[in-house]
Amino acid sequence: MKKEFKFGFDHILLTLTSVGQILAAAFTYQSPILSSLRNSGWILLWIAGIFGMLPIFTFKRLGKVQKGKSYVHTNQLVDKGIYSIVRHPQYFAGVLIGIALYLISPSLINLVLGIVNIVQYYNGTFEEEERLIDKFGQQYIEYQKKVPRLNPIRGIIQRIIGH
């Protein structure tokens, strides 16, 4: 019961801070900043969108999801596609969104909410990994050794050099 409460609290906190950061970015967007900083934020936001969407298609195609079920209900460990370079692409997308919204519209409130979001997404990967080890066992533990948790640059380099 304690773990379920923590899981619920974490998601409520993440939702509130995410909405807060989006609102803060919207209300402070007109602040004078370097356009290159703002443009970098928009680029990161698009990259986040890619990392957020690819798992939906990858799981549906490779995860042996039963017809009519959500893409998250995989019956097979997926280690191809986006999952060959990063274990948690959607959590990584969340981290990128936190950074991007700050770059698009830097303010103290956006910085604080962004840091909370990034920490929440990062911490969420640990709970997710426990669940995935319970579901896939040793197969997931071996996968963890090959693919980085949230570092797609390292994952791409490892894939190129063949590790």
pLDDT at 120: 92
Residues 120, 91: Cα–Cα separation, whole Å: 9
pTM given for the model: 0.83
Residues 93, 101: Cα–Cα separation, whole Å: 12
Residues 85, 157: Cα–Cα separation, whole Å: 9
Q: Are 92 and 51 in contact (CB under 8 A)?
A: yes
pLDDT at 1: 44
Tokens of 122: 């990062």
pLDDT at 32: 56
pLDDT at 93: 96
Tokens of 102: 């700050």
Longest Cα–Cα distance in the chain: 52
pLDDT at 16: 78
pLDDT at 83: 95
pLDDT at 119: 94
pLDDT at 33: 56
Burial 21-56 (b: 16+ CB within 10 A, else e): beebbeebeeeebeeeebeebeebbebbeebbebbe
Closest among 46, 48, 45, 26 to 105, alpha carbons compared? 26
pLDDT at 118: 94
| Residue in the block written with tokens 């803060």 | 24
pLDDT per residue as tens digits for the range 56-74: 999 888 888 888 888 888 8
pLDDT at 141: 96
Strands (DSSP E) found in 93-153 = none
pLDDT under 70: residue ranges of the chain:
1-8, 29-34, 163
pLDDT at 24: 77
Residues 49, 53: Cα–Cα separation, whole Å: 6
Query: Domains, the chain, ranges and CATH?
Result: 2-161 (1.20.120.1630)
pLDDT at 146: 93
